[in-house]
Amino acid sequence: MSLLGTSIIGASRGNGSKVTTHAINPATGEKLEPAYLGATSEEVARALELAAAAFPKYSRLSGKERGAFLRAIAGEIETVADEIAARGPLETGLPEARLRGETARTTGQLRLFAALAEEGSWVDARIEHAQPDRQPLAKVDLRSMLRPLGPVAVFAASNFPLAFSVAGGDTASALAAGCPVIVKAHSSHPGVSEIVGAAVRRAAEKTGMPEGVFSLLYGGGRDVGIALVEAPQIKAVGFTGSRSGGTALMAAAAKRPEPIPVYAEMSSINPVVFLPEILAQKGEVLAEGLFGSLTMGVGQFCTNPGLVFLEENSAGPFLAKLKTLVEAGAPGVMLNSAICEAYHSATSDLAKKKDVAVLAKAAAAPGQGQGSPVVFQTSVDTFTADPELCAEMFGPATLVITGSLEKITAAIVDLEGQLTTSIHGTDTEIAQVDDLLAAMENRSGRVIFNGFPTGVEVCHSMVHGGPFPSTSDGRSTSVGSMAIHRFARPISWQSAPQSALPAELRDGNPSGIWRMIDGQRGQG
Ligand code: NAP
Protein backbone atom coordinates (compact mmCIF):
# COMPACT_ATOMS: atom_id res chain seq x y z
CA MET A 1 0.00 0.00 0.00
CA SER A 2 1.14 3.56 -0.43
CA LEU A 3 1.51 5.31 2.88
CA LEU A 4 -0.70 8.37 3.31
CA GLY A 5 0.73 9.76 6.54
CA THR A 6 -2.65 10.43 8.17
CA SER A 7 -4.58 9.13 11.14
CA ILE A 8 -7.23 6.45 10.69
CA ILE A 9 -10.45 7.66 12.31
CA GLY A 10 -13.05 4.94 12.10
CA ALA A 11 -13.67 4.35 8.41
CA SER A 12 -12.12 7.69 7.30
CA ARG A 13 -8.69 9.25 7.17
CA GLY A 14 -7.70 12.45 8.95
CA ASN A 15 -6.47 15.59 7.26
CA GLY A 16 -4.10 16.30 10.13
CA SER A 17 -2.75 19.38 11.82
CA LYS A 18 0.20 21.37 10.57
CA VAL A 19 2.39 19.47 13.03
CA THR A 20 4.23 16.84 11.03
CA THR A 21 6.78 14.20 11.95
CA HIS A 22 8.84 11.84 9.86
CA ALA A 23 10.18 8.44 10.71
CA ILE A 24 13.97 8.59 10.90
CA ASN A 25 16.14 5.69 9.82
CA PRO A 26 18.21 5.18 13.00
CA ALA A 27 21.06 3.60 11.04
CA THR A 28 21.59 6.58 8.74
CA GLY A 29 19.72 9.52 10.28
CA GLU A 30 17.80 9.80 6.98
CA LYS A 31 14.23 11.16 7.04
CA LEU A 32 11.72 8.68 5.64
CA GLU A 33 8.70 9.73 3.60
CA PRO A 34 5.85 10.41 3.94
CA ALA A 35 5.42 13.13 6.55
CA TYR A 36 2.98 12.08 9.30
CA LEU A 37 0.31 14.62 10.22
CA GLY A 38 -0.61 14.75 13.89
CA ALA A 39 -4.33 14.38 14.61
CA THR A 40 -6.18 17.66 15.21
CA SER A 41 -8.27 18.08 18.35
CA GLU A 42 -11.38 17.68 16.16
CA GLU A 43 -10.05 14.40 14.85
CA VAL A 44 -9.29 13.16 18.36
CA ALA A 45 -12.84 14.14 19.37
CA ARG A 46 -14.29 12.29 16.35
CA ALA A 47 -12.36 9.09 17.15
CA LEU A 48 -13.64 9.30 20.76
CA GLU A 49 -17.25 9.87 19.65
CA LEU A 50 -17.06 6.91 17.28
CA ALA A 51 -15.54 4.64 19.96
CA ALA A 52 -18.22 5.62 22.48
CA ALA A 53 -20.94 5.02 19.89
CA ALA A 54 -19.46 1.62 18.98
CA PHE A 55 -19.25 0.38 22.58
CA PRO A 56 -22.91 -0.57 23.22
CA LYS A 57 -23.02 -2.68 20.06
CA TYR A 58 -19.48 -4.07 20.11
CA SER A 59 -19.61 -5.04 23.78
CA ARG A 60 -22.76 -7.06 23.17
CA LEU A 61 -21.45 -9.08 20.25
CA SER A 62 -20.92 -12.73 21.02
CA GLY A 63 -17.44 -14.04 21.73
CA LYS A 64 -17.61 -15.87 18.41
CA GLU A 65 -18.21 -12.62 16.53
CA ARG A 66 -15.36 -10.86 18.32
CA GLY A 67 -13.17 -13.90 17.69
CA ALA A 68 -13.95 -13.71 13.97
CA PHE A 69 -12.86 -10.04 13.97
CA LEU A 70 -9.56 -10.86 15.70
CA ARG A 71 -8.90 -13.74 13.30
CA ALA A 72 -9.64 -11.42 10.37
CA ILE A 73 -7.09 -8.90 11.73
CA ALA A 74 -4.48 -11.67 11.93
CA GLY A 75 -5.28 -12.72 8.36
CA GLU A 76 -5.08 -9.14 7.05
CA ILE A 77 -1.73 -8.59 8.78
CA GLU A 78 -0.39 -11.73 7.12
CA THR A 79 -1.28 -10.29 3.71
CA VAL A 80 0.99 -7.28 4.41
CA ALA A 81 3.85 -9.19 6.05
CA ASP A 82 6.17 -8.33 3.14
CA GLU A 83 5.37 -4.62 3.43
CA ILE A 84 6.07 -4.74 7.16
CA ALA A 85 9.33 -6.58 6.51
CA ALA A 86 10.37 -3.91 3.98
CA ARG A 87 9.42 -0.80 5.98
CA GLY A 88 10.11 -2.06 9.52
CA PRO A 89 13.91 -2.32 9.32
CA LEU A 90 14.14 1.23 7.89
CA GLU A 91 12.14 2.70 10.76
CA THR A 92 13.51 0.65 13.65
CA GLY A 93 16.98 -0.64 12.76
CA LEU A 94 15.68 -4.13 13.60
CA PRO A 95 16.58 -6.87 11.10
CA GLU A 96 13.98 -8.19 8.67
CA ALA A 97 14.00 -11.63 10.34
CA ARG A 98 13.03 -10.06 13.67
CA LEU A 99 10.20 -8.10 12.00
CA ARG A 100 8.91 -11.28 10.36
CA GLY A 101 9.16 -13.22 13.63
CA GLU A 102 7.37 -10.46 15.51
CA THR A 103 4.64 -10.34 12.85
CA ALA A 104 4.06 -14.06 13.46
CA ARG A 105 3.99 -13.51 17.23
CA THR A 106 1.43 -10.73 16.75
CA THR A 107 -0.90 -12.82 14.61
CA GLY A 108 -0.44 -15.69 17.09
CA GLN A 109 -1.48 -13.38 19.95
CA LEU A 110 -4.53 -12.21 18.01
CA ARG A 111 -5.58 -15.82 17.44
CA LEU A 112 -4.96 -16.71 21.10
CA PHE A 113 -7.36 -13.93 22.14
CA ALA A 114 -9.78 -14.96 19.38
CA ALA A 115 -9.87 -18.48 20.81
CA LEU A 116 -10.34 -17.11 24.32
CA ALA A 117 -13.28 -14.95 23.23
CA GLU A 118 -14.83 -17.78 21.19
CA GLU A 119 -14.56 -20.34 23.99
CA GLY A 120 -15.99 -17.75 26.39
CA SER A 121 -15.23 -19.13 29.88
CA TRP A 122 -12.83 -16.23 30.63
CA VAL A 123 -15.84 -14.19 31.79
CA ASP A 124 -15.85 -16.22 35.05
CA ALA A 125 -19.64 -16.70 35.10
CA ARG A 126 -21.03 -17.49 38.57
CA ILE A 127 -24.56 -18.39 39.49
CA GLU A 128 -25.97 -18.60 43.00
CA HIS A 129 -29.57 -19.76 42.93
CA ALA A 130 -32.19 -18.17 45.10
CA GLN A 131 -33.20 -19.89 48.33
CA PRO A 132 -36.50 -18.23 49.20
CA ASP A 133 -36.95 -20.52 52.22
CA ARG A 134 -33.52 -19.94 53.73
CA GLN A 135 -33.59 -18.99 57.41
CA PRO A 136 -33.22 -16.52 58.94
CA LEU A 137 -33.13 -14.61 55.64
CA ALA A 138 -34.17 -15.61 52.15
CA LYS A 139 -31.33 -15.72 49.59
CA VAL A 140 -31.80 -13.90 46.29
CA ASP A 141 -30.73 -15.19 42.85
CA LEU A 142 -27.32 -13.61 42.10
CA ARG A 143 -25.35 -14.08 38.88
CA SER A 144 -22.07 -12.42 37.97
CA MET A 145 -19.58 -12.24 35.14
CA LEU A 146 -16.91 -9.96 33.71
CA ARG A 147 -18.04 -7.32 31.24
CA PRO A 148 -15.95 -4.89 29.14
CA LEU A 149 -15.00 -1.50 30.61
CA GLY A 150 -15.53 0.74 27.58
CA PRO A 151 -13.24 2.35 24.98
CA VAL A 152 -9.52 1.82 25.69
CA ALA A 153 -6.59 4.06 24.70
CA VAL A 154 -3.50 2.06 23.73
CA PHE A 155 -0.02 3.63 23.59
CA ALA A 156 2.19 1.69 21.21
CA ALA A 157 5.73 0.80 22.34
CA SER A 158 8.90 1.61 20.43
CA ASN A 159 10.71 -1.64 21.10
CA PHE A 160 8.08 -4.06 19.75
CA PRO A 161 6.77 -2.32 16.62
CA LEU A 162 4.21 -5.10 16.13
CA ALA A 163 3.67 -7.24 19.22
CA PHE A 164 3.27 -4.23 21.59
CA SER A 165 2.05 -1.77 19.01
CA VAL A 166 -1.03 -1.06 16.88
CA ALA A 167 -2.46 -4.60 16.88
CA GLY A 168 -0.31 -5.90 19.74
CA GLY A 169 -1.25 -7.51 23.03
CA ASP A 170 -3.02 -4.49 24.55
CA THR A 171 -5.21 -4.00 21.46
CA ALA A 172 -5.91 -7.73 21.06
CA SER A 173 -6.89 -8.19 24.71
CA ALA A 174 -9.07 -5.06 24.80
CA LEU A 175 -10.87 -6.03 21.57
CA ALA A 176 -11.34 -9.59 22.84
CA ALA A 177 -12.86 -8.24 26.06
CA GLY A 178 -15.37 -6.17 24.05
CA CYS A 179 -13.72 -2.74 24.23
CA PRO A 180 -13.26 -0.45 21.20
CA VAL A 181 -9.65 0.72 20.89
CA ILE A 182 -8.01 4.01 19.96
CA VAL A 183 -4.28 3.59 19.40
CA LYS A 184 -1.81 6.43 19.82
CA ALA A 185 0.88 5.48 17.29
CA HIS A 186 4.51 5.54 18.44
CA SER A 187 6.39 8.28 16.61
CA SER A 188 9.32 5.92 16.02
CA HIS A 189 7.56 3.62 13.52
CA PRO A 190 4.64 5.48 11.90
CA GLY A 191 4.80 3.61 8.59
CA VAL A 192 4.55 0.13 10.15
CA SER A 193 1.74 1.53 12.32
CA GLU A 194 -0.17 2.71 9.24
CA ILE A 195 0.26 -0.62 7.44
CA VAL A 196 -1.05 -2.51 10.47
CA GLY A 197 -3.78 0.06 11.21
CA ALA A 198 -5.10 -0.25 7.66
CA ALA A 199 -5.13 -4.05 8.07
CA VAL A 200 -7.24 -3.71 11.24
CA ARG A 201 -9.67 -1.40 9.41
CA ARG A 202 -10.07 -3.86 6.52
CA ALA A 203 -10.78 -6.63 9.02
CA ALA A 204 -13.37 -4.44 10.80
CA GLU A 205 -15.13 -3.73 7.53
CA LYS A 206 -15.05 -7.34 6.31
CA THR A 207 -16.52 -8.63 9.57
CA GLY A 208 -19.16 -5.88 9.87
CA MET A 209 -17.85 -4.30 13.05
CA PRO A 210 -19.23 -0.92 14.20
CA GLU A 211 -17.19 1.91 12.72
CA GLY A 212 -15.67 3.18 15.96
CA VAL A 213 -14.27 -0.17 17.05
CA PHE A 214 -10.77 0.96 16.03
CA SER A 215 -8.95 4.21 15.29
CA LEU A 216 -5.25 5.03 14.99
CA LEU A 217 -4.05 8.53 15.83
CA TYR A 218 -0.72 10.15 15.07
CA GLY A 219 0.62 13.01 17.13
CA GLY A 220 3.87 13.88 18.81
CA GLY A 221 4.21 16.57 21.41
CA ARG A 222 2.14 14.58 23.92
CA ASP A 223 -1.12 16.51 23.22
CA VAL A 224 -2.91 13.67 21.48
CA GLY A 225 -1.93 11.12 24.12
CA ILE A 226 -2.94 13.31 27.05
CA ALA A 227 -6.21 14.28 25.32
CA LEU A 228 -7.06 10.59 25.02
CA VAL A 229 -6.30 9.83 28.68
CA GLU A 230 -8.35 12.82 29.83
CA ALA A 231 -11.34 12.10 27.57
CA PRO A 232 -14.46 10.98 29.47
CA GLN A 233 -15.20 8.37 26.79
CA ILE A 234 -11.95 6.47 27.59
CA LYS A 235 -12.34 3.94 30.41
CA ALA A 236 -8.84 2.39 30.56
CA VAL A 237 -5.32 2.85 29.17
CA GLY A 238 -2.68 0.36 28.02
CA PHE A 239 0.93 1.61 27.74
CA THR A 240 4.45 0.23 27.30
CA GLY A 241 7.39 2.60 27.44
CA SER A 242 9.35 4.81 29.78
CA ARG A 243 8.79 5.32 33.49
CA SER A 244 8.36 9.05 32.95
CA GLY A 245 5.77 8.50 30.18
CA GLY A 246 3.86 5.85 32.14
CA THR A 247 3.75 7.87 35.36
CA ALA A 248 2.66 11.01 33.44
CA LEU A 249 -0.30 9.04 32.06
CA MET A 250 -1.08 7.60 35.52
CA ALA A 251 -1.14 11.13 36.96
CA ALA A 252 -3.39 12.41 34.15
CA ALA A 253 -5.79 9.48 34.64
CA ALA A 254 -5.90 9.93 38.41
CA LYS A 255 -6.74 13.65 38.07
CA ARG A 256 -9.85 13.04 35.95
CA PRO A 257 -13.26 13.65 37.52
CA GLU A 258 -13.73 9.90 36.89
CA PRO A 259 -10.29 8.32 37.43
CA ILE A 260 -9.56 5.30 35.24
CA PRO A 261 -7.04 2.45 35.38
CA VAL A 262 -3.74 2.86 33.50
CA TYR A 263 -1.98 -0.41 32.77
CA ALA A 264 1.55 0.84 32.16
CA GLU A 265 4.53 -1.45 31.69
CA MET A 266 7.56 0.73 32.38
CA SER A 267 10.90 0.04 33.95
CA SER A 268 12.51 -3.24 34.91
CA ILE A 269 16.13 -4.29 35.47
CA ASN A 270 15.47 -8.02 35.89
CA PRO A 271 18.05 -9.29 38.41
CA VAL A 272 19.72 -12.64 37.77
CA VAL A 273 21.33 -14.50 40.70
CA PHE A 274 24.02 -17.14 40.12
CA LEU A 275 24.72 -19.52 43.02
CA PRO A 276 28.31 -20.80 43.47
CA GLU A 277 27.96 -24.53 42.78
CA ILE A 278 26.33 -24.06 39.39
CA LEU A 279 28.93 -21.43 38.50
CA ALA A 280 31.69 -23.90 39.37
CA GLN A 281 30.02 -26.60 37.24
CA LYS A 282 29.34 -24.57 34.11
CA GLY A 283 30.44 -20.98 34.51
CA GLU A 284 31.45 -20.53 30.87
CA VAL A 285 28.16 -21.88 29.52
CA LEU A 286 26.26 -19.54 31.84
CA ALA A 287 28.38 -16.60 30.69
CA GLU A 288 27.39 -17.41 27.10
CA GLY A 289 23.72 -17.59 28.08
CA LEU A 290 23.89 -14.27 29.92
CA PHE A 291 25.71 -12.59 27.05
CA GLY A 292 23.08 -13.83 24.56
CA SER A 293 20.24 -12.54 26.73
CA LEU A 294 21.97 -9.22 27.40
CA THR A 295 22.73 -8.42 23.77
CA MET A 296 19.62 -9.83 22.09
CA GLY A 297 17.88 -7.04 20.14
CA VAL A 298 20.70 -4.66 21.24
CA GLY A 299 19.42 -5.09 24.79
CA GLN A 300 16.18 -3.24 24.04
CA PHE A 301 13.85 -5.59 25.85
CA CYS A 302 11.89 -4.85 28.98
CA THR A 303 13.20 -8.20 30.26
CA ASN A 304 16.86 -7.41 29.62
CA PRO A 305 19.05 -8.72 32.50
CA GLY A 306 20.33 -5.44 33.96
CA LEU A 307 21.63 -6.76 37.31
CA VAL A 308 23.72 -9.88 37.97
CA PHE A 309 24.32 -11.06 41.54
CA LEU A 310 27.16 -13.47 42.45
CA GLU A 311 28.82 -14.59 45.64
CA GLU A 312 32.37 -13.32 46.04
CA ASN A 313 35.17 -15.62 44.86
CA SER A 314 32.79 -17.98 43.09
CA ALA A 315 32.91 -16.71 39.58
CA GLY A 316 36.41 -16.68 38.06
CA PRO A 317 35.75 -18.62 34.81
CA PHE A 318 32.26 -17.12 34.47
CA LEU A 319 33.50 -13.53 34.64
CA ALA A 320 36.54 -14.26 32.45
CA LYS A 321 34.31 -15.74 29.73
CA LEU A 322 31.80 -12.89 30.02
CA LYS A 323 34.65 -10.38 29.62
CA THR A 324 35.92 -12.15 26.47
CA LEU A 325 32.46 -12.27 24.94
CA VAL A 326 31.66 -8.63 25.69
CA GLU A 327 35.03 -7.40 24.38
CA ALA A 328 34.40 -9.26 21.11
CA GLY A 329 30.75 -8.06 21.03
CA ALA A 330 29.52 -5.91 18.16
CA PRO A 331 27.69 -2.60 18.40
CA GLY A 332 24.13 -2.62 17.07
CA VAL A 333 21.73 0.01 15.74
CA MET A 334 19.29 1.14 18.42
CA LEU A 335 15.61 1.89 17.86
CA ASN A 336 15.85 5.66 17.68
CA SER A 337 18.20 8.49 18.51
CA ALA A 338 16.50 9.29 21.84
CA ILE A 339 16.88 5.71 23.07
CA CYS A 340 20.48 5.62 21.82
CA GLU A 341 21.35 8.91 23.57
CA ALA A 342 19.64 7.75 26.77
CA TYR A 343 21.71 4.55 26.65
CA HIS A 344 25.00 6.39 26.15
CA SER A 345 24.19 8.83 28.91
CA ALA A 346 23.14 6.08 31.38
CA THR A 347 26.27 4.00 30.73
CA SER A 348 28.64 6.98 30.88
CA ASP A 349 27.03 8.14 34.16
CA LEU A 350 27.55 4.69 35.63
CA ALA A 351 31.16 4.55 34.41
CA LYS A 352 31.84 7.76 36.37
CA LYS A 353 30.60 6.31 39.66
CA LYS A 354 33.18 5.81 42.37
CA ASP A 355 33.50 2.11 43.27
CA VAL A 356 31.88 0.94 40.03
CA ALA A 357 34.38 -0.60 37.58
CA VAL A 358 33.99 -1.37 33.90
CA LEU A 359 34.48 -5.14 33.79
CA ALA A 360 34.37 -5.25 29.99
CA LYS A 361 33.20 -3.26 27.04
CA ALA A 362 33.06 -4.02 23.35
CA ALA A 363 36.28 -3.10 21.54
CA ALA A 364 34.56 -1.83 18.37
CA ALA A 365 33.41 1.78 18.62
CA PRO A 366 29.69 2.36 18.09
CA GLY A 367 28.72 4.01 14.79
CA GLN A 368 25.68 6.16 13.87
CA GLY A 369 22.79 5.36 16.20
CA GLN A 370 24.55 2.35 17.70
CA GLY A 371 24.96 0.98 21.21
CA SER A 372 27.69 -1.43 22.37
CA PRO A 373 27.66 -4.10 25.06
CA VAL A 374 29.21 -3.12 28.38
CA VAL A 375 29.41 -4.83 31.77
CA PHE A 376 30.05 -2.98 35.02
CA GLN A 377 31.02 -4.45 38.37
CA THR A 378 30.58 -3.35 41.97
CA SER A 379 30.11 -4.72 45.47
CA VAL A 380 26.75 -5.37 47.06
CA ASP A 381 27.59 -2.76 49.74
CA THR A 382 28.11 -0.07 47.11
CA PHE A 383 24.95 -1.17 45.33
CA THR A 384 22.74 -1.00 48.40
CA ALA A 385 24.14 2.41 49.39
CA ASP A 386 23.34 4.09 46.04
CA PRO A 387 19.76 3.94 44.69
CA GLU A 388 20.96 5.40 41.35
CA LEU A 389 22.58 2.03 40.59
CA CYS A 390 19.06 0.65 40.10
CA ALA A 391 18.24 2.95 37.16
CA GLU A 392 17.25 1.15 33.95
CA MET A 393 19.97 1.28 31.24
CA PHE A 394 17.80 0.45 28.21
CA GLY A 395 20.34 -1.37 26.03
CA PRO A 396 23.04 -4.09 26.20
CA ALA A 397 24.48 -3.13 29.62
CA THR A 398 24.48 -4.93 32.93
CA LEU A 399 25.90 -4.45 36.40
CA VAL A 400 27.57 -7.40 38.13
CA ILE A 401 27.24 -7.21 41.91
CA THR A 402 29.29 -9.39 44.23
CA GLY A 403 28.75 -10.11 47.90
CA SER A 404 27.60 -12.71 50.40
CA LEU A 405 24.38 -14.60 49.82
CA GLU A 406 22.94 -12.93 52.89
CA LYS A 407 23.62 -9.45 51.52
CA ILE A 408 22.43 -10.42 48.05
CA THR A 409 19.14 -11.60 49.56
CA ALA A 410 18.80 -8.34 51.49
CA ALA A 411 19.49 -6.36 48.30
CA ILE A 412 16.74 -8.25 46.43
CA VAL A 413 14.31 -7.66 49.31
CA ASP A 414 14.89 -3.92 48.89
CA LEU A 415 14.65 -3.79 45.08
CA GLU A 416 11.91 -1.93 43.28
CA GLY A 417 9.32 -4.11 41.54
CA GLN A 418 10.53 -6.12 38.55
CA LEU A 419 8.98 -7.97 35.63
CA THR A 420 11.28 -10.92 36.31
CA THR A 421 13.80 -12.35 38.73
CA SER A 422 16.03 -15.28 37.75
CA ILE A 423 18.11 -17.78 39.71
CA HIS A 424 20.73 -20.25 38.54
CA GLY A 425 21.65 -23.05 40.92
CA THR A 426 21.85 -26.81 41.36
CA ASP A 427 18.79 -28.54 42.83
CA THR A 428 20.61 -28.77 46.17
CA GLU A 429 21.52 -25.09 46.17
CA ILE A 430 18.02 -23.97 45.23
CA ALA A 431 16.53 -26.06 48.03
CA GLN A 432 18.62 -24.07 50.52
CA VAL A 433 17.72 -20.48 49.56
CA ASP A 434 14.12 -20.11 50.69
CA ASP A 435 14.57 -16.51 51.84
CA LEU A 436 16.01 -15.52 48.49
CA LEU A 437 13.18 -17.25 46.60
CA ALA A 438 10.61 -15.52 48.81
CA ALA A 439 12.24 -12.15 48.05
CA MET A 440 12.25 -12.91 44.31
CA GLU A 441 8.57 -13.83 44.38
CA ASN A 442 7.74 -10.71 46.35
CA ARG A 443 9.59 -8.37 43.99
CA SER A 444 8.62 -9.73 40.55
CA GLY A 445 5.90 -11.10 38.32
CA ARG A 446 7.87 -14.07 36.94
CA VAL A 447 10.50 -16.16 38.76
CA ILE A 448 12.82 -18.00 36.38
CA PHE A 449 14.89 -21.05 37.32
CA ASN A 450 18.07 -21.84 35.39
CA GLY A 451 17.08 -19.61 32.50
CA PHE A 452 17.31 -16.00 31.33
CA PRO A 453 14.57 -13.40 31.34
CA THR A 454 14.44 -12.49 27.64
CA GLY A 455 11.96 -14.53 25.60
CA VAL A 456 8.38 -14.15 26.79
CA GLU A 457 6.08 -17.04 25.91
CA VAL A 458 2.59 -15.89 24.93
CA CYS A 459 0.28 -18.39 26.65
CA HIS A 460 -2.36 -18.82 29.34
CA SER A 461 0.04 -18.95 32.30
CA MET A 462 2.44 -16.14 31.35
CA VAL A 463 2.69 -13.19 33.72
CA HIS A 464 4.41 -10.20 32.18
CA GLY A 465 3.80 -7.75 34.96
CA GLY A 466 5.12 -7.03 38.42
CA PRO A 467 5.07 -4.54 41.29
CA PHE A 468 5.64 -0.82 40.56
CA PRO A 469 7.56 0.49 38.67
CA SER A 470 7.81 -2.53 36.39
CA THR A 471 4.09 -1.95 35.94
CA SER A 472 1.56 0.47 37.33
CA ASP A 473 -0.57 -2.38 38.67
CA GLY A 474 1.17 -5.57 39.76
CA ARG A 475 -2.13 -7.47 39.75
CA SER A 476 -2.06 -7.59 35.96
CA THR A 477 -0.15 -8.97 32.99
CA SER A 478 0.25 -7.40 29.55
CA VAL A 479 1.21 -10.70 27.85
CA GLY A 480 -0.81 -13.91 27.74
CA SER A 481 -4.51 -14.53 27.98
CA MET A 482 -4.86 -13.14 31.54
CA ALA A 483 -4.22 -9.69 29.98
CA ILE A 484 -7.92 -9.62 29.04
CA HIS A 485 -8.89 -9.10 32.70
CA ARG A 486 -7.40 -5.58 32.63
CA PHE A 487 -10.24 -4.41 30.42
CA ALA A 488 -13.24 -5.95 32.16
CA ARG A 489 -15.06 -5.53 35.46
CA PRO A 490 -17.36 -7.85 37.39
CA ILE A 491 -21.09 -7.14 37.39
CA SER A 492 -23.80 -8.94 39.38
CA TRP A 493 -27.37 -9.35 38.22
CA GLN A 494 -29.77 -9.77 41.13
CA SER A 495 -33.15 -11.48 40.66
CA ALA A 496 -32.93 -10.79 36.92
CA PRO A 497 -35.41 -12.41 34.53
CA GLN A 498 -33.78 -14.79 32.01
CA SER A 499 -34.45 -12.36 29.16
CA ALA A 500 -32.39 -9.64 30.87
CA LEU A 501 -29.35 -11.86 31.45
CA PRO A 502 -26.33 -12.22 29.15
CA ALA A 503 -26.31 -15.65 27.45
CA GLU A 504 -23.39 -16.71 29.66
CA LEU A 505 -25.59 -16.49 32.77
CA ARG A 506 -28.82 -18.01 31.50
CA ASP A 507 -30.24 -21.30 32.67
CA GLY A 508 -29.29 -24.21 30.43
CA ASN A 509 -25.90 -22.64 29.63
CA PRO A 510 -26.58 -21.79 25.96
CA SER A 511 -22.93 -20.65 25.54
CA GLY A 512 -21.58 -24.01 26.80
CA ILE A 513 -18.93 -22.28 28.93
CA TRP A 514 -17.40 -23.30 32.26
CA ARG A 515 -19.29 -21.69 35.12
CA MET A 516 -19.48 -21.84 38.90
CA ILE A 517 -22.95 -22.85 39.99
CA ASP A 518 -23.68 -22.74 43.71
CA GLY A 519 -19.95 -23.10 44.38
CA GLN A 520 -19.31 -25.99 41.95
CA ARG A 521 -17.34 -25.56 38.69
CA GLY A 522 -18.83 -27.21 35.64
CA GLN A 523 -20.26 -26.83 32.17
CA GLY A 524 -23.83 -27.45 33.16
P1 NAP B 1 8.11 6.65 25.81
O2 NAP B 1 8.96 7.84 25.57
O3 NAP B 1 7.55 6.50 27.17
O4 NAP B 1 6.93 6.69 24.74
C5 NAP B 1 5.89 5.72 24.70
C6 NAP B 1 4.60 6.36 24.19
O7 NAP B 1 4.06 7.25 25.17
C8 NAP B 1 4.77 7.21 22.94
O9 NAP B 1 3.57 7.12 22.20
C10 NAP B 1 4.94 8.61 23.48
O11 NAP B 1 4.56 9.58 22.55
C12 NAP B 1 4.00 8.58 24.66
N13 NAP B 1 4.42 9.44 25.77
C14 NAP B 1 5.61 9.41 26.41
N15 NAP B 1 5.63 10.31 27.41
C16 NAP B 1 4.42 10.92 27.41
C17 NAP B 1 3.84 11.96 28.19
N18 NAP B 1 4.51 12.55 29.17
N19 NAP B 1 2.58 12.33 27.90
C20 NAP B 1 1.89 11.75 26.89
N21 NAP B 1 2.39 10.78 26.10
C22 NAP B 1 3.65 10.37 26.35
O23 NAP B 1 8.86 5.32 25.50
P24 NAP B 1 9.80 4.90 24.28
O25 NAP B 1 9.92 5.98 23.28
O26 NAP B 1 9.29 3.62 23.81
O27 NAP B 1 11.22 4.63 24.95
C28 NAP B 1 11.88 5.57 25.76
C29 NAP B 1 12.46 4.87 26.98
O30 NAP B 1 11.48 4.07 27.59
C31 NAP B 1 13.58 3.90 26.71
O32 NAP B 1 14.82 4.52 26.64
C33 NAP B 1 13.48 2.97 27.86
O34 NAP B 1 14.16 3.48 28.98
C35 NAP B 1 12.04 2.91 28.17
N36 NAP B 1 11.34 1.72 27.63
C37 NAP B 1 11.06 0.73 28.49
C38 NAP B 1 10.39 -0.38 28.04
C39 NAP B 1 10.01 -1.46 29.00
O40 NAP B 1 9.22 -2.30 28.62
N41 NAP B 1 10.53 -1.47 30.20
C42 NAP B 1 10.00 -0.51 26.71
C43 NAP B 1 10.30 0.53 25.84
C44 NAP B 1 10.97 1.64 26.33
P45 NAP B 1 5.52 9.97 21.33
O46 NAP B 1 5.46 8.88 20.33
O47 NAP B 1 4.90 11.20 20.82
O48 NAP B 1 6.87 10.19 21.91
Q: Per-residue DSSP letters for 393-459? A: --SSEEEEEEE-HHHHHHHHHTSPPEEEEEEE--HHHHHT-HHHHHHHHHHEEEEEESS-S-----S
Q: What is the rounded distance in angstroms from the CA atom of residue 433 to the CA atom of residue 455?
A: 25
**Average pLDDT, consecutive stretches of 10 residues, N- to C-terminus, the chain (524 residues):** 95 87 96 96 97 98 98 98 98 98 98 98 98 98 98 97 98 98 97 98 98 94 93 98 96 98 96 97 97 97 97 87 97 97 97 96 93 97 96 96 97 98 98 98 98 96 98 97 98 98 97 97 94
- In the reported structure, the alpha carbon of residue 101 is separated from the centroid of ligand 1 by a whole-number distance in angstroms of 23
Which pLDDT score is estimated for 315? 81
Tell me which of 24, 223, 242 to substitute to probe ligand 1's pocket, judged by most ligand atoms within 8 Å of the beta carbon: 242
pLDDT of residue 19: 75
pLDDT at 57: 98
Model pTM above 0.95: yes
pLDDT at site 408: 98
Find out whether the beta carbon of 155 lies less than 6 Å from any atom of ligand 1. yes
170 ligand 1 Cβ < 6 A: no
Catalytic residue, chosen from 76, 265, 311, 392, is: 265
Q: What is the pLDDT of residue 131?
A: 98
Which positions ≥6 away from 399 have C-beta within 8 Å? 306, 307, 308, 350, 356, 375, 376, 377, 378, 383, 389
Atom of ligand 1 nearest to the CA of 266: 41
Candidate list 302, 340, 392, 504, residue with the active-site label: 302
Per DSSP (E only), the strands in 136-227 are 142-148, 152-155, 181-184, 214-217
Q: Does the annotation mark 265 as catalytic?
A: yes
CB of 158 sitting under 6 A from ligand 1: yes
Q: Ligand 1 within 6 A of 226 CB?
A: yes
Give the mutation target among 158, 224, 255, 347 for probing the ligand 1 site: most ligand atoms within 8 A of CB. Answer: 158
What integer pLDDT is reported at residue 374 of this predicted model?
98
Q: What is residue 313's predicted lDDT score, i.e. its pLDDT?
A: 77
For residue 312, what pLDDT is reported? Answer: 79
Is 288 catalytic? The answer is: no
- The per-residue pLDDT for 17 is 78
Task: Report the C-alpha gap between 210 and 237 in whole angstroms.
Answer: 21
